[in-house]
Amino acid sequence: MADYRKFYDLEGYLLGEVSSKFRDSKKIEPLDFFLILHWKAPRAKTKHRDRLKAQAGSFQEAVACIAKDLSGAASAELRLKILILQWAFRLPTATAILAILYPNEFTVYDVRVREQLAHAALADTCIEAGWEHFWQKYDAFKCAVERETPSELNLRDKDRYLWGKSLYEDAEDCWRA
């Protein structure tokens, strides 16, 4: 019998089992990919599923192609480019997927983290200025995450640190109002 408790800590499951399975096999189970989408944006998960089904014929086929595309990409920049330009994910979701599959290369582009860094919003429309410009802006965001957090933390924990700080400050402001 399966131990469903592992899904209670979804991020732990994704960063532990899913990330490890992807590193070993270069494949992603459709359920696991759906859980990544749920982890990032529970309200949008079925929209992503339906869009990917329409794009590839089935969700399973889309996930298989995404795994193949990502594992065959030669750089972090190319991985992000694939998810945004080829698979039509927006930056926050694309970086969430990549933060699970490549946790040492990507941080999630999250509004709470961005606000903690006082980092200008990087809209998907910035791609119109050219991919290179867009990638440089994301890379600057990642460097700010690394620079503005305790040095002993890994990249995922740096992201958690800033997100948690944002939540704490919001809660503190709210209860005092």
Looking at residue 171, its pLDDT comes to: 95
Domain that holds residue 19: 1-106
Looking at residue 103, its pLDDT comes to: 96
User: Taking the complete model, does pTM exceed 0.85, yes or no?
Assistant: yes
- 93 lies in the same domain as 111: no
Residue 125 predicted with pLDDT over 60: no
pLDDT confidence of 130, banded at 50, 70, 90?
A: confident
Looking at residue 126, its pLDDT comes to: 65
pLDDT confidence of 123, banded at 50, 70, 90?
A: low
Q: Which of 106, 137, 158 is the last residue of a domain?
A: 106
Residue 177 predicted with pLDDT over 70: yes
Q: Which of 106, 134, 157 is the last residue of a domain?
A: 106
- 3 lies in the same domain as 61: yes
Query: Which residue is listed with tokens 């599959």?
Result: 101
Find, among 166, 170, 169, the residue nearest to 119 by Cα. 166
Please give the mean pLDDT across all residues of the chain.
93
Looking at residue 102, its pLDDT comes to: 97
Residue 62: CB atoms within 10 Å: 21
- 6 lies in the same domain as 34: yes
pLDDT in tens, 61-86: 999 999 999 999 999 999 999 999 99
Q: How many domains does the chain have?
A: 2
Listed in sequence order, the residues at least 6 apart from 103 whose beta carbon sits closer than 8 Å to its beta carbon are 15, 19, 154, 155, 156
Looking at residue 15, its pLDDT comes to: 97
- 89 lies in the same domain as 128: no
Looking at residue 133, its pLDDT comes to: 87
